[in-house]
Amino acid sequence: MKALIYDTYAGASQMRIVERPIPQPGQGQVRIAVHAAGLNAADWHLYLGDPWLARLSFGLRRPGERVLCKDYAGVVDALGEGVTGLNVGDRVFGEAWRGAGAEFLVTEATRVVAMPVGLTFEEAAALPMVALTAMQGLAQAGMGTANLPDAPRTLVIGASGGVGHAAVQIARILGAGRVVAVCSQRNAAMVADLGADRVIAYDRERVLDCGETFDLVFDTVATTSFRRLRAIMSSRGVYAAAGGVGGGKLLGPAWSVFSPRLVSPFVSQRAVSVSASNSGDDLARVATWVEQEQLRPVLERVYPWEEFAPALERLESKRVAGKLVLRIVP
């Protein structure tokens, strides 16, 4: 089989598509013929070793040989022993630990979910990581619990990105009474079409001057500090840090995600750090929402996987509207 691999922290210039043995599924595993692989911000953090903190887990000097991408959609090709509920030929999608940028992928059967009816492989591959992060992050912030008022007024910052565009839609699904979104003017129409009640274009208006107060702020970019955002939060509001675009070479977005918690004990508002996990049950809920036409992925562009270099350059620009996807099988 062919696989898109990297073995240094040099970026796309050192990546290559190579021949590798077709993997065999073990106990409780399935093999998937991959048709499409989704690109996420987490991918470029890993293959660039940026921030350096990540290298403690993936190799201080070199990451070893790794196959790019975690999100996938494809067809079940083989079953390991003990697998039930799946059949060869099923159209499925999910998030793997790694290795989705290849013609075949082996992963745990419990994390494989039937593709939503009506989606293409490319659309399905765009969903797993961003939808799970948005769903679990909003839940961790208290959406749908007594920690927040009923129908909380919700602000999503970075609303046109991968996690952000999912969060705008999932906030509504989980019970938000009003959803206000922050993005560039260029992407404002797209975000409004996803169901935001109001879109604040940060290149035309400061979010701090919006004239509204929010019970929940879901932030994927961390360009405005929690300390300053408190001015537009209710007295018991919650700030959920789901990512950041800065932070430096050492800590990167980790500082943006965790530093608000240093302030939280000393103020009435609460800050939480979003931590998403790979859950087949949660992804099945995502699939249901798609089939009910409550949630849909936005794809900026689908690239043939031979064009991975320009795709990754676009990903690293941090200006993607929705998601980028690699088409593995035509």
Show pLDDT as tens, one digit a residue, over the chain (330 residues): 999 999 888 888 889 999 999 999 999 999 999 999 999 998 877 888 776 666 666 666 677 778 999 999 999 999 999 999 999 999 999 999 889 999 999 999 999 999 999 999 999 999 999 999 999 999 999 998 888 999 999 999 999 999 999 999 999 999 999 999 999 999 999 999 999 999 999 999 999 999 999 999 999 998 999 999 999 999 999 999 998 766 555 445 655 666 666 666 757 899 999 999 999 999 999 999 999 999 999 999 999 999 999 999 999 998 999 999 999 975
Main-chain phi, psi angles of 180, to 5 degrees:
-110, 135
Instruction: Kindly state the helix (H) or strand (E) to which residue 237 belongs, with its residue range.
Output: strand 233-241
Domain boundary, last residue among 273, 289, 315: 273
What's the confidence (pLDDT) of residue 256? 63
Cα 33 from chain centroid (whole Å): 22
Number of structural domains, the chain?
Answer: 2
Are 61 and 154 part of one and the same domain?
A: no
What's the confidence (pLDDT) of residue 257? 62
In whole angstroms, what is the distance from residue 168 CA to residue 160 CA? 9
What's the confidence (pLDDT) of residue 250? 47
What CATH number should be reported for the domain holding residue 134? 3.40.50.720
Are 61 and 178 part of one and the same domain?
A: no
Are 200 and 216 part of one and the same domain?
A: yes
Give me the DSSP letters along 261-311.
HHHGGGSSSEEEE------HHHHHHHHHHHHTTS----EEEEEEGGGHHHH
The range of the structural domain enclosing residue 107 comes to 2-127+297-327
Are 211 and 257 part of one and the same domain?
A: yes
Are 207 and 311 part of one and the same domain?
A: no
Q: Tally the residues of the chain.
A: 330
Q: Which of 134, 229, 117 minimizes the C-alpha distance to 176?
A: 134
Are 262 and 180 part of one and the same domain?
A: yes
Is residue 200 domain-resident?
yes
